[in-house]
A and B are shown apart, each in its own frame.
Chain A
């Protein structure tokens, strides 16, 4: 099945819960979800559309638009297609439900995004320090306004 056909099916099933969707490049889809149907659409993408293999997740800080886009990467091992599943969060106090109950392996990556961007994942049960030192007080390093204020004091 072509990327466009899969995308059309996803749109048809969840048109009211998806902000936008496109084929990013061959074998790579991009779906931007609305916040209210986030978990539901993720569940359906996994069970119905075969994106069963979690890859990673991470954020992008758009300082000018005052938003952070959280991106989840998942594979469809049958069709060999990659999905980037996104949601836009406000830059000030970003908060979203965790997707670890859909893709368990996002555990590590959500912990990383929590440290690097300051995103709160509601329902994440294992939010312990990941890459940064446990006593890190320097802010969120991957945010665009991070000035690199030393490590620990």
Chain B
């Protein structure tokens, strides 16, 4: 580890991985009294070598380990890998399957954002109620997932060529009902949390990340959009059915923790809009192109697939040869990019020791994703 700054007043504190708010990582903090001079992220506590595991699995088997990267957001992560396989093998996806994928991805995004939102409330220390609310409301989505896929988490529902099952009877009506319920709840969240004076005091003007810094440091997802930069893979390079769906890219100009929280809040609204559109306008037809699980590419290829997950852009760079498993899979994880931004935040603005949980939760870290 880098030596601590040698000053008599500077003390190095190890925060995590057993701290209730830190998640499975250790953060080293050089502090002078309450003021944080330097943040050092010590990652790797949950490194499982997913990139290596994928090299030793067939294309279909690889979908299972890669979904373990982010449990709250398995649909988006799984889709990035499945899309890469489809590009490498030249598999076409029917339109209906694309719409079902978009529906699943948006449900997973809301699920993940709700979790992040609850943790953000919890991190300020005043709102255990909001965390319980979001946990309860996620049940609505988990029930829908269970009915559609048979699993509440890690569905393994996407496969190269389409999806495993069609929407069950009456599913669309349930989606619309769920959307209506969640919309009502969101008004409560806004009043209880975002507009709450205590939350404002803790989050307004904290850990400001200017747009030029966000680009220079490679921020992604809500962190980037919270700095006012409208970058979203769903719009920039549409995949699944996003080209046909109507939604906005949410940005906030304030660049602070509050802005990132508001981006997540408003993104949930956009996702609900997409869910409603899919439920009402989903086209008919096939749900999958038949693909053999033992499929192998005919010649070496190299493809890049990018998907906007709840935490930001994930990139799968897949190298294949004439073999039943990929030669190499490089995963560009969104949390790792945002962790670098977090490390630099003490240099960009003044952060106090007590603000560290609030700041780290504003980037919505998921260490299984950054460690892979």
Contact = CB atoms under 8 A, between A and B. Distances in A.
Interface residues of A, number: 35
A80 B2 contact: no
Contact of A131 (B44, B217, B315): B44
B72 interface: no
Contacts of A126: 2
A130 B229 contact: no
A77 B215 contact: yes
A105 interface: yes
A3 to B, nearest CB: 12
A108 B304 CA distance: 21
A80 B51 CA distance: 26
Interface string A87-118: 00000000000000001110111000000000
Interface string B312-336: 0101010100000001101011001
B319 A24 contact: no
Contacts of A108: 43, 336, 339-340
Interface in A55-110: 55-56, 58, 60-61, 71, 73, 77, 80, 82, 84, 103-105, 107-109
Given A56-B336, A82-B304, A142 B2 contact: no
B218 A80 contact: no
Interface string A9-53: 000000000000000111110000000000000000000000011
A141 interface: yes
Contacts of A52: 215-216
Contacts of A107: 340
B100 to A, nearest CB: 24
Given A55-B337, A56-B315, A73-B332, A84 B44 contact: no
A96 to B, nearest CB: 17
Contacts of B87: 25
B353 interface: no
Given A56-B332, A60-B330, A141-B49, A25 B304 contact: yes
Interface of B: 1-2, 43-44, 47, 49, 51-52, 87, 215-218, 229, 231, 236-237, 302-304, 306, 313, 315, 317, 319, 327-328, 330, 332-333, 336-337, 339-341, 371-372
